[in-house]
Amino acid sequence: MGKKIRIAIAGVGNCASALIQGIHYYEKHRTDNVSGLMFEDVGGYKPWDIEVVAAWDIDARKVGKDISEAIFAPPNCTTIFESDIPKKGVKVRKGKVLDGFAPHMANYPPDRTFVLSDEKEDELEDVVSVLKETEADILINYVPVGSEQAARFYAEACLRAGVSFINGMPTFIVSDPEWAKRFEQEGIPVVGDDIKSQVGATIVHRTLVQLFTDRGVKIDRTYQLNFGGNTDFLNMLERERLKTKKISKTSAVESLLPYDIGDGNIHIGPSDWVPWLKDRKIAYIRIEGRLFGDVPMYLELKLDVEDSPNSGGSMIDAIRCCKLARDRGIGGPLYSISAYTMKHPPIQYPDWQARKMVEEFIRGERER
């Protein structure tokens, strides 16, 4: 195809680092038949067809640096699996702080949290101008969980600039009917909300719930407890910032149940921050159910993954499907790729069905 997918990034944290490393990793190994991709080709687009053209952050150690350096700056702590990132000529700009910085994080050492830059913030018109000047196709929202105002700030900028919005965080924008309608009216394709990892706690939990349901086991109660050591988990120690995250993760699992088990019998959400884990995430899942003759059974599982690369595998497909929609002149929420790669899409589908829908979309057999 020979065309590039020009992306902007709001929030140059661990997820952005893993994504950019991945783009270069797969370019370097394009002939090696390497693993880790759900789709190697999406409508002619390969992972290495993605290029970053603009970026925003609020940390003094990232603002003003080339994106190739900023992705390795503290407090980023994800695994470095591709260190040879060439200079991009893309300087990280100071984003508008709004609620992107949780006050409680000021109580922790700088290497664990943010160091707020004192440079002038970009206002809405500045972001719109940069998106237009760089001819960005898509802006990826990676601002911290609970940054409701900041997420909507970048969504608004995309609407005004005619740029697609992929919402990797649990602020409900693409799944909000009013926002969805605005993007559809402007003919801008969008994907969201809240990125679902390749093989993360949510997808594993969903798969197990589907298995229980398909095999006739009645689920009585279930929980998912997650903890990790990156700034995402530190940020979420402020429980007020967790509201949409818990809703997003809970609905992703609960939507597969054909019956109501009651709010008191399902608990899903981040639980604690363990600094030495860095970007590792550990999840404990338990499901209690009844099989033949109402005889009880219990399942317990532990999942241990590097958090940010796990989400990169989903984001790289969301980006390429979004660009494919732009090429085809499709606007509004993309239901197929949102259901496959996001925890809180506009419409929830079982994962096997969502994958089938994505395959149909890529082949041009499904509009959205």
Q: What digits encode the pLDDT tens for the residues 315-326? A: 999 999 999 999
Q: What is the rounded distance in angstroms from the CA atom of residue 348 to the CA atom of residue 368?
A: 14
Supply φ then ψ for residue 9, to 5 degrees: -130, 130
CA dihedral of residues 92, 94, 100, 103 (deg, nearest 10): 120
Distance CA 313, CA 197 (A): 7
pLDDT at 103: 82
Residues 96, 247: Cα–Cα separation, whole Å: 26
First-residue to last-residue Cα distance in the chain: 21
Question: How far is the C-alpha of 160 from the C-alpha of 272, rounded, in Å?
Answer: 38
Burial of 365 (0-12, 13-18, 19+ CB in 10 A): exposed
pLDDT tens digits for range 169-179: 999 999 999 99
**Predicted TM-score (pTM) of this structure:** 0.94
Is the pLDDT confidence value at 229 over 60?
Answer: yes
pLDDT average, residue stretch 190-210: 96
- Contact predicate 213/283, CB 8 Å: no
pLDDT tens, position by position, 232-258: 999 888 877 778 888 888 999 999 999
The residues facing 42 across adjacent strands are 45
Mean pLDDT along residues 204-230: 96
Closest CA to 157 of 73, 113, 93, 231: 93
| Per-residue pLDDT at 11 | 98
Do 160 and 182 contact (CB within 8 A), yes or no? Answer: no
266 membership: H or E segment, kind and range: strand 266-273
- In angstroms, the CA 298 to CA 313 distance is 31
pLDDT at 1 over 70: no
- Nearest-CA neighbor of 321 among 38, 30, 25, 45? 45
In the numeric block, which tokens belong to residue 71?
A: 């992705």
For the stretch 9-47, pLDDT in tens is 999 999 999 999 999 999 999 877 778 999 999 999 999
